[in-house]
Amino acid sequence: MSVSPNPGLSALIVGCWQLDDRSWKAIPEANLERAIDTYLALGITTFDTADIYGRSEQVLGRLLKGRDSIVLTKAVFFEGVPTPNQVRSKIENSLRNLQRDRLDYVQIHWHNPQLDFSATFAQLNDLIEQGKITKLGVTNFNTPMLEKALQCAPICVHQLQYSLVDRRVENLMQPFCLKQGIEILSYGPLSGGFLSENYLGVTSPQSATDHARSFFYSTMIHAHGGWPPVADLLETLAQVAQKYGKTIAQVALNWVKQQAGVRSVISGLTLDRQHIQHNVDAFTWNLNAEDIKLLSERSSTLFQQTGDIYSYER
Ligand SMILES: NC(=O)c1ccc[n+]([C@@H]2O[C@H](COP(=O)([O-])OP(=O)(O)OC[C@H]3O[C@@H](n4cnc5c(N)ncnc54)[C@H](OP(=O)(O)O)[C@@H]3O)[C@@H](O)[C@H]2O)c1
């Protein structure tokens, strides 16, 4: 068995987009602290955030100060090619927010594939040499972009959406990552919470008030055939869950964690203590091969998976 280039990451990574009170519900910091304490007490030490997730980096900086943890952040380049000053100040800003001397992981989101990112990656390499960044990753890169990025810098992880509903990764990216030894960090394993008991038997979900679920994941579900196939998948998940005495969310997480090349599964922070415990437990056992196959085949029958990573989001 090959040795992971990312040994410290926990199998479950806590997604901290949920700390962005502009995109999700506004959560008081005391409640966030309680939830983070619970994750840490259960052995989950890795957190995912981004420079564009509002207060998320700053809150994590305060709550994780002096605690044994790994933080993955993102540097998001939406417009144009950044100047060297812009790149440096982005990294300095994340260092200040997270109250660290060195960023454990920086994952690059590069929005426009038409723009050449090689100079930016060369600068990120310099920041590694200067000790400001330990490891580099990317997020939402399509396959040609990742091929090119690898010529510019060492890429250890690729963060991308992967769930029983969205399996576009399997078209090109997963085999490519396996070949290159790049580990996959999968986000959206519960399709933002839709793959859970909360939505079993629901014929048409109400538009959620916490709008990331409604806009980000509803858009994805729409692109993959709409709600009816998700409702059908939930029935199959419920049957498998019952067989193991587990929940739908646990089965959905377990399916992702067992896919080839997946190093860790990123699931968004929840305040619900029982959900936290269930999510952590989902990484302590395995669906058997027959049930993995059953779920994969059901998903293949229900959803079309066209395009490469990030093919319709840009
Ligand atoms: N790179 C990117 O472009 C990108 C894009 C999206 C996300 N991400 C990252 O990935 C992280 C994870 O993605 P995600 O949070 O959107 O997806 P997710 O894990 O599919 O969904 C998380 C949501 O599901 C609900 N949930 C969690 N555990 C549950 C359980 N056991 N039963 C029922 N519901 C449960 C929670 O909502 P409630 O408890 O509030 O119902 C939580 O907010 C984000 O926080 C972010 O760090 C990255």
CATH number at residue 47: 3.20.20.100
Residue 195 lies in a domain: no
Q: Is residue 78 part of a domain?
A: yes
With respect to residue 55, please indicate whether it lies within any of the assigned structural domains.
yes
Q: Residue 310 has what DSSP assignment?
A: T
Going from the Cα of 130 to the center of ligand 1, the distance in angstroms, rounded, reads 34
Please name every residue paired with 137 in a beta bridge, in sequence order, or none if there are none: 107, 157
The per-residue pLDDT for 8 is: 94
As a whole number of angstroms, the distance between CA 66 and CA 225 comes to: 46
pLDDT at 221 (0 to 100): 94
- Residue 16 and residue 60 in contact, taking contact as beta carbons nearer than 8 Å: yes
Residue 283 CA to residue 108 CA, distance in Å, equals 27
Position 23 scores a pLDDT of: 78
Q: Which residues of the chain have pLDDT under 70?
A: 1-2, 207-211
* Buried-exposed string 191-221: b where 16+ CB fall within 10 A, e elsewhere: bbbbbbeebeeeeebeebeeebbeebbbebb
Q: What is the predicted pLDDT for the residue at 211?
A: 67
The predicted pLDDT at position 228 comes to 97
Residue nearest to atom 31 of ligand 1 (CA): 275
Q: What is the Cα–Cα distance from 127 to 88, expressed in whole angstroms? A: 8
Q: State the alpha helices, DSSP H only, in the chain.
A: 29-41, 56-64, 84-98, 118-129, 143-152, 173-180, 211-212, 218-223, 227-244, 248-257, 273-281, 289-302
Judge whether 87 lies within some domain: yes
Measured in Å, residue 155 CA sits from the centre of ligand 1 at 24
Domain that holds residue 145: 12-190+256-286
* Tally of structural domains, the chain: 1
Q: Whose CA is nearest to atom 8 of ligand 1?
A: 187
Residue 36 lies in a domain: yes
pTM of the model: 0.97
Residue 29's φ and ψ, nearest 5 degrees, are -65, -30
Distance 118 CA to ligand 1 centre (A): 32
- Answer whether residue 198 is part of any domain: no
Cα–Cα distance measured from residue 13 to residue 41, given in angstroms and rounded to the nearest whole number: 14
Residues having CB closer than 6 A to ligand 1 are 15-18, 48, 139-140, 159, 187-193, 196, 198, 249, 266-268, 270, 272, 275, 278-279
Domain assignment present for residue 85? The answer is: yes
